[in-house]
C-alpha cells in the first residue's frame, strides 16, 4: 500500500490515451465465465437483479418527493438523499450498459 499514489484531480486527454495504449488487455468475458462456477455466477446475477429492483423501488419513492421522505430530516440529510438518488440513477444506468439482459 506504500506505493499507492493519490488520484489526480484532472488528467489530459493525451495522457489518458497514453495510459490506454500501455494498458494490458483484459480477460475476455468467456475466460471469466469458464473460471467461475455457474452457481457463483447465478448467485451474483441474482444479487444484481435484487439490487437493481430495490434501487429502482427506492428511486421511485425519492422521485415522488413525498413528505414522509423529508419529514424530521435536517438539510444535510435531505441533500444526502438527493445525492443517493443521483448515484443510484448512475449505477443503474451503468449496470444496464454492462448487462443489457438484466
Mean pLDDT across the chain, nearest whole number? 80
Which one-letter DSSP state was computed for residue 102? -
> What is the predicted pLDDT for the residue at 15?
84
As a whole number, mean pLDDT of residues 11-20 equals 83
Residue 7 has pLDDT above 80, yes or no: no
Amino acid at each position: 500500500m506504500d506505493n499507492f499514489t493519490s488520484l489526480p484531480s484532472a488528467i489530459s486527454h493525451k495522457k489518458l490515451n497514453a495510459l490506454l495504449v500501455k494498458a494490458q488487455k483484459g480477460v475476455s468475458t468467456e475466460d471469466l465465465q469458464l473460471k467461475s462456477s455457474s452457481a457463483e455466477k447465478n448467485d451474483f446475477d441474482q444479487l444484481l437483479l435484487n439490487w437493481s429492483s430495490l434501487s429502482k423501488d427506492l428511486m421511485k419513492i425519492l422521485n415522488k418527493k413525498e413528505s414522509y421522505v423529508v419529514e424530521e430530516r435536517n438539510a444535510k440529510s435531505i441533500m444526502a438523499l438527493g445525492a443517493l438518488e443521483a448515484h443510484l440513477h448512475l449505477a443503474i444506468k451503468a449496470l444496464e450498459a454492462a448487462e443489457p439482459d438484466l
